[in-house]
Structure 1
């Protein structure tokens, strides 16, 4: 009996480590680039705040919800962006929950008339839980008198919640139309083992984000489009342990409206059955005065089944409309 329960515990712990060490990501990363790289903190050189909600695989029992909220501002005197953000990630079937609060800082260095360099750092406090409080280990079962001992001395005793310090850093180069940045999350490799005395370092998360935004009229005659129409080209590569993903796409940006598509690719598949194209993601953005609204839908192309896709809704409030051009989201100019 003890062995059976021990195997169950081992299986659950391994599942938790493998399935939930992967960082949550957002389809509309270009609207909230701080989720990828702390160097984007205060990037618009103004004060802004926003909230985002993401629901993944809405038709499956494995539905995953992620909420993200942030506030950032920029100091012209200090040439620095400062921000805070909060992440809440939860899985409905197992009760897994991951929350983290971070403080971001980015320093803006002007290299020449057009180019800027922004190193950034993020320090946060994270907490993960898996609902182990109802798990019964083998040495707690007393078959003779049919009782359950509330105390266990099993060496695989698991923790219901674990807390950890998390440190990330990034670099960003940009001008008014082009940007490219790289970041590394979990530099200190915090221990995320649910087992007492266990040691499972969290895998570092690498990303490279780039984009280019331009006026279509500078290259071709827009013909059927408004003359001020802009186009954005974007790419975002992410890697964490064996997981990797490359998002590439484009968007048309009108005065107060944007529409676009990205493709989620698996450039380094781990097996021959891994699909190269994971999803086709459609998004749109709308600006009304100081508010920006972003909506996206990911159409899953893999064989995961009738997942219902993934929905994402975001709301951003920008305090200063005269801020630097907002890459990837509609803004008055």
Structure 2
């Protein structure tokens, strides 16, 4: 049992060194609130959704992540909402939970372009659940009984739970067929160390993203329904020494969309780095006010047998009530940019 706790504490030491990486969602195009608080209220109606992500589902390596949101445009320019993030790792029983409030403000630059400023902040908690571990000094070797708590000095140096306050900021510029934005998370650099007297500020998370819709030839020879577009998107992310560039394309139709995203490592730091780390196809289907999505990340590196990453999304957008009709063409083709 003592070996187990040392393995866990070794993992925590490594965790503190890399300062932790934020969860990244494949279907951030479907739920862009995961990228930028500036998207809050962009649909000009009630908008809500949830993502469930299962990473490396085989055995003890599994990581489950859930993200939920709800928002609305409460005035002609002000959007308000909430977001919830939860992540659990099977091997360590590590859990990360965060609840945030979000506000965005829209500024009309001209008849075509809009500027949106977003601020997100709230409460976060990280928990390793050390109370579930059984150490050697808790076991009576004579009769096999278990005592109440451990006095192992290595164990006592660590807190099982840490709480923090966190803020993020985003800016977004959009028009009918294009958007460009950037966000910076963890502006307060909260301390996330589990050591009593440690100091491990959470690294800033930068995301720079954009997309553009191209109208396809909808002639009968193309066998495409009316109002079919091709979406091209990019999303560059950096946190500490880690970086990633997602390049995606999809065909967007009224009820269905099909696409693929290539996750790349543009700044390979050693000879074993892969330029393309995964290929992530996804499909969505609309049914009334609801939209369903599924994606599967196919690993292209030498990570080993891991059964990929599965992601499910469900979003809901209420019918419009015309407060500002020229702003309804928003929300990643759900309303059409």
Question: TM-score when scaled to structure 1?
Answer: 0.89
Equivalent in 110, 113, 137 of residue 111 of structure 2: 113
Distance 1:321 1:332 in 2: 14
Q: Once the two structures are superposed, what CA deviation does each residue of 1:166-210 show, in whole Å capped at 9, x if it has no partner?
A: 011011111111101001100010000001121110011000010
- Matching residue of 2:260: 261
- Matching residue of 1:175: 175
Distance 2:280 2:65 in 1: 17
Task: Identify if the C-alpha distance between structure 1 residues 266 and 227 changes in structure 2 by more than 3 Å, giving closer, same or farther.
Answer: same
Confirm or deny that 1:163 pairs with 2:174.
no
Distance 1:259 1:325 in 2: 21
Distance 2:73 2:82 in 1: 12
Q: Structure 1: give runs of 5+ residues left out of the alignment.
A: none
Please give the residue correspondences for 1:152-231 in structure 2 after superposition, counting only pairs within 5 Å. Answer: 152=151, 154=153, 157-217=157-217, 223-231=222-230
Distance 1:312 1:8 in 2: 30
Which sits farther off after the overlay, 269-278 or 176-185?
269-278
Confirm or deny that 1:132 pairs with 2:130.
yes
- Matching residue of 1:274: 273
SS of structure 2 residue aligned to 1:250: strand
After superposition, the CA RMSD in angstroms is 3.0
Distance 2:6 2:311 in 1: 38
Task: Identify if the C-alpha distance between structure 1 residues 9 and 89 changes in structure 2 by more than 3 Å, giving closer, same or farther.
Answer: closer
Q: Once the two structures are superposed, what CA deviation does each residue of 1:224-268 show, in whole Å capped at 9, x if it has no partner?
A: 322421111111111111111111011101121111111000111
Question: TM-score when scaled to structure 2?
Answer: 0.88
Distance 1:212 1:94 in 2: 41
Distance 1:269 1:125 in 2: 34
> Retained in 2: the 8 A contact 1:287–1:330?
no
Q: Structure 2: give runs of 5+ residues left out of the alignment.
A: 322-326
Q: Once the two structures are superposed, what CA deviation does each residue of 1:25-57 show, in whole Å capped at 9, x if it has no partner?
A: 110101111111111111111111111101111
- Matching residue of 2:27: 28
- Matching residue of 2:68: 69
Confirm or deny that 1:100 pairs with 2:98.
yes
- Matching residue of 1:324: 328
How many pairs align? Answer: 329
1:17 Cα deviation after fit: 2.5
Task: Identify if the C-alpha distance between structure 1 residues 172 and 330 changes in structure 2 by more than 3 Å, giving closer, same or farther.
Answer: closer
Confirm or deny that 1:291 pairs with 2:261.
no
Q: Once the two structures are superposed, what CA deviation does each residue of 1:58-117 show, in whole Å capped at 9, x if it has no partner?
A: 12421111111111000234x111110111101111111100000001100001010111
Distance 1:55 1:326 in 2: 29
- Matching residue of 2:239: 240
Distance 1:255 1:101 in 2: 33
- Matching residue of 2:324: none
SS of structure 2 residue aligned to 1:39: helix
> Retained in 2: the 8 A contact 1:279–1:300?
yes
